[in-house]
Chains A and B, each alone.
Chain A
Amino acid sequence: MSVRRRERTDRILKIIFKATGLATIALLGAIFFMLFYNSIAFFTHISPIDFFTGSQWNPESVNGTYSIFPLLASTGLVAFGSMFIAVPLGILTAAYISEFAPRKLQIVLKPVIEMLAAIPSVAIGFLGIVLIGPAIAKLFGIQNGLNALNGSILLAVMALPTIITIAEDAINAVPQTYKEASFALGANKWATLFKVTIPAALPGLIAAVMLGLGRALGETMTVLMATGNAAALPKGFLDSIRTITATIAIEMGEVPYQTTHYFALFAIAAVLFVITLVINLLGEYFANRFRKFHA
């Protein structure tokens, strides 16, 4: 092959790589632009004050009320509920795997937990409908088990692999010398875990929680299937709810193009986008701090 031909191949390859890189960035930019462009269109119809402070999401009614509040409350409620379950469970599991489990069990547990992340969310939603929902209904003596509690449990299951994996890395990265210091002073395994290892791993644990929370907030299919889809302000975990994600998924297919309702869905998507963005950035920030700390 002549030198010139080789140079040409080189050039072409370079262009291809550059193009794919730029395409990704362009795609992100386009999504961002689309979300905010349509949101702005929405706010020319409805005032942001009504949007954030109202109490009803009811686009079908005669003069259509568009308050994100019940949806945001729903999203917040399941996310909080799921973290309430997944954070202690995830961190203790991570601590167990990293500090207490015999090596053989460790080798089995880690990939099994990572595999949990591969279960499609539809399957988990299904589990919520046929198993956990009825169980909740029976346990609390209510008619309908498709509620915030159900969603919280399922989202906890979905966030657990992320939390456990990252938390385990964080706990594992705590220098052995800290633990030795603690043991040599007469502390037992538990005192060492709770007073030395976990505090030392804290930035990494916060990162784990943030990324798990990001996962829970963005999840759509599971909550759509398992939380009852009532777009009213929830009063507690036994109420049916409807999250931002589920609302978009349900309504987007039927809404007439470029109506207020259509724009409203972009607006709530933009809000969710900002929230998850902030949470992911926080997660990254803590993950980085934790890496620096152990460098």
Chain B
Amino acid sequence: MDQIKLSAHSLNLSFGEKQILKNINIDFIKNQVISLIGPSGCGKSTLLRSFNRMHDLSPDAHVKGTLKLDNLDLYDKNISVTEIRKRIGMVFQKPNPLPKSIYENLSYGLNIHEFPKNEIPDLIEKALKESYLWDEVKDELKKPAVKLSGGQQQRLCIARTVVLRPEVILMDEPCSALDPISTGKIEELIMSLKKDYTIVIVTHNMQQAQRISDKVAFMYLGEVIEFDSTENVFKNPQQELTRNYVGGHFG
């Protein structure tokens, strides 16, 4: 039986008066890669960011509905957002290493969550290996992270997330600022991370969605129009809108 890792039910989200997400109901299965696709402005990032509560930072965001990680209510007043963000990591569209060294970019989160000091170097090495970055940076861990190439920076950002051993990783167009070779490496990385993590990724690249995802959700104007296996969404979409979008006849 497939285990539901992350879910949203009756999720409505508005910024001030403007409603952005409309009655979203979606379940993400453990150890799958799920792609969110849809035209610009349809609310993909907004949906993604509601899971790790990044909207807490904007005072005019109002979230209604139930979001769950396993059986944990993510918006429960009694649980700490810090803990949620440790369990649900996030990788952003533009690589955003902290203005610190490569090593410190990984130790930062470990220190925040008070991992034992003596375990930190090993955890960092392991995460860098899993992110296919170790061989490239092992001799220059003290180097400022911004000196890395864009693709390396993005793998560092993934490593920085992985090092905390989250359960879910949210990725918002992680390859949109990268060249095809770096993109290939990240895709390979995503496939290998799948066995340990549940990954929700926003992408505008239809080929990418087909290559990496188990399931695909198509969003339009704040609603999930279709959510099905990758095969069905691309080969046999049930909705007219989906067919037009994946067929490239859009807007």
Contacts and interface: CB of A to CB of B under 8 A. Distances in A.
B234 interface: no
Range class of the B interface residue count: 20 to 34
Contacts of B54: 180, 183-184
The listed residue with most A CB atoms (<10 A of its CB), out of B52, B59, B85, is B85
Interface string A185-201: 11110010001100110
A185 B160 contact: yes
Interface string A93-129: 0000000001000000000000000000000000000
Contacts, number: 60
A188 B82 contact: yes
A102 B59 CA distance: 10
A191 B92 CA distance: 20
A111 B245 CA distance: 51
B98 A186 contact: no
B96 interface: yes
Contacts of A183: 54, 57, 85
B96 A186 contact: no
Contacts of A55: none
Contacts of B222: none
Interface in A207-233: none
B82 A177 contact: no
B89 to A, nearest CB: 7
A209 B212 CA distance: 51
B98 A182 contact: yes
A103 to B, nearest CB: 8
Contacts of A200: 99
B109 interface: yes
A188 B109 CA distance: 11
A243 B160 CA distance: 53
A277 interface: no
Interface of B: 52, 54, 57, 59, 81-86, 89-90, 92, 94, 96-100, 108-109, 112-113, 157, 160-161, 164
